[in-house]
Amino acid sequence: MYFHNIVKAVGFVSAILVAETAWSNEASSANVMAPLEINDWSGFNSQLTTAKNMGVDAVSVDIWWGKVEAAGDQQFDWSYYDSVVSAIENAGLHWVPIMSFHQCGGNVGDECDVPIPAWIWSHYPGIDANALKYRSEQGNYSAETVSLWSDDLVVDEYLEFMNAFESHFATKAYMTDEINISMGPAGELRYPSYNSHDVNTGYPTRGAFQSYNDNAIADFRDWTLSKYGSLAAINTAWGVSLSSITQVSPPTDATAFIANGDQYTLQYGRDFVRWYHESLTSHGITMMNAAIQAFDSAFADAELGFKIPGVHWQMGVAGNYRRSAEIAAGLIPTDVDLNSAATAYGYSSIIGVAASYNNSGRNIVLHFTALEMDNQNWSPQYSLAKDLVFWVADGATAQGVTIKGENALAGGVASDNGWNNIENAFTWSGYSGLTILRIGDVTNGGTGQNRYTSFIQNFHAAGSGANVAFSCANGYTYWGQSVYVVGNLAELGNWNPASAVVMSASAYPTWNATITVPANTTIEWKCLKREESNPSAGIEWESGANHVITSGAAGSTVTTAGAF
């Protein structure tokens, strides 16, 4: 079952020999993700300028529910996001806001602490806070998101938030390329099965089931009774002798449940996992329906999207633990063939959340992570990340779903190997857009910036811009100082050192940058040194007259060099 993707991986070696035009138009969007919270506004503005010059389209921004509506129900404070969108707009970029109904903090790469609004836990008279939270097999409660088994209560709060967002930012519709909907922890459609409220459930373990609060247990009983019609029929199907429906419950010993293979071999086990999985997909539809209802005016034409994670560990392990991490996250059921392309190796039904809107008149985009990763099918992780990237993409293509990709970890775009995997996915599967997590990883020089610039040139749908490859020799700098390109175009900062474009020092002391500029345009430019954190400090201009060049036709690249 892995031969198909081995061919694809080998095919990448051949693909790099093909002319760049053979790769063009694979990506309809090339985006970056903003910092979780912006504290260094000068640095952020510099990153935006660089991103624009690279050919980036839009910036994805978490709109934290807990930041905007912290003061109380329907007490919205959009001031922080007014500043964010103004910075993005001034840089000539678009944005992709994320309705982030989860907390910021507690996930890999998080450097923030924005819980969801505290008032939500006491908002419903007579309902205890823990009744709104996921409760795990370990008995721990997660406050990262509201449990999906409370959707009937909290969905109105989500609607109010999204309606208020549309009203406040209606004038930004022209620059809103897509709106993403957070559907779970880390903004992903999954359970918090490997999050910090539990012990020893993180990567690369099987995780933990999250279906043990009273609402979840009651729902499982209702689902089971609805499927079989009576307790007697349940007993027959499961081969048990229950005397009361109250004896129907999630596994009392989840470790033994997985270790014994009950999720595969017992009808009870297959039913439990099916219910657990369908609860998640139903939640996805509830959230998307709410978004469609909310964004019906200024944002009526904006695409909507959601994300599923690349839970790639415990995939290749032999025995009963195979696919266990994905099962605990709710991503796949166990009553289908998990080794078949016909089921997208288990992902058909969660992809089907997006596919269910194919004829609705509203395009729903599926986002998937982990494009930069390799297979590592050995202990302890038994990861098949690269296989998974293709399984999900092929499954989306089969159902007519638009799929776009992301890197899972920041380190993945700091290496050529990670970028080779990303380009491999775009060359051989159906990914139609890329978002890089995060902007700072591809705008501060080095491999990330160089490879994303190259990706945009090679894979992005052709635009009207031309490329200029700038170099500045003898660029010796001190710690905290860098070399920049500055010139007479907005793309080069309009001679303003604060808006100049930082170059890559990968060939130090020669600095390089490839920048997209208007085609067939006269350009004047110079090399510039300045401090990274203080644009007015450490200024040193290249001596002599301005360099004067003319950019080429759209899609072409010309080179030009300066020196200190």
Query: Which positions are catalytic?
Result: 188, 406
The pair of structure tokens assigned to 440 is: 């700072």
Helix axes 416-428, 446-459, angle to 10 degrees: 20
Nearest to 490 by CA among 469, 514, 528, 517: 517
CA 213, 158, 408, 110 dihedral sign is negative
d(CA 31, CA 52): 10
**Alpha carbon of residue 349 to chain centroid:** 20
- Collapsing DSSP states into helix, strand and coil, what is residue 308? strand
Strand 364-368 to 303-308 pairing? parallel
Q: What is the 3-state secondary structure (H, E, C) of 217-247?
A: HHHHHHHHHHHHCCHHHHHHHHCCCCCCHHH
Determine the straight-line distance between the first and last CA of the chain, rounded to whole angstroms: 56
3-state class of 499 per DSSP?
helix
Helix, strand, or coil here: 77?
coil
Report the C-alpha gap between 502 and 512 in whole angstroms. Answer: 9
**Encoded tokens for 313:** 């560990």
By CB atoms closer than 10 A (0-12, 13-18, 19+), residue 220 is buried
Distance CA 194, CA 208 (A): 7
- Residue 563, φ and ψ in degrees, nearest 5: -160, 150
**Tokens (6 digits) for 240:** 């048990």
Return d(Cα 495, Cα 307) in angstroms, integer. 40
Q: Which residue has the tokens 């924005």?
A: 114
Q: How far apart are CA 36 and CA 112, in angstroms?
A: 7
Residue 513, strand partner residues? 470
Binding residues for substrate: 62, 102, 110, 307, 312, 369, 407-408, 438
Distance CA(407)–CA(58), nearest Å, equals: 16
Q: Which residues lie closer than 8 Å to 77 by C-beta, 6 or more apart?
A: 67, 68, 69, 70, 71
Q: How many residues does the chain have?
A: 564
- For residue 507 the two structure tokens come to 């060939």
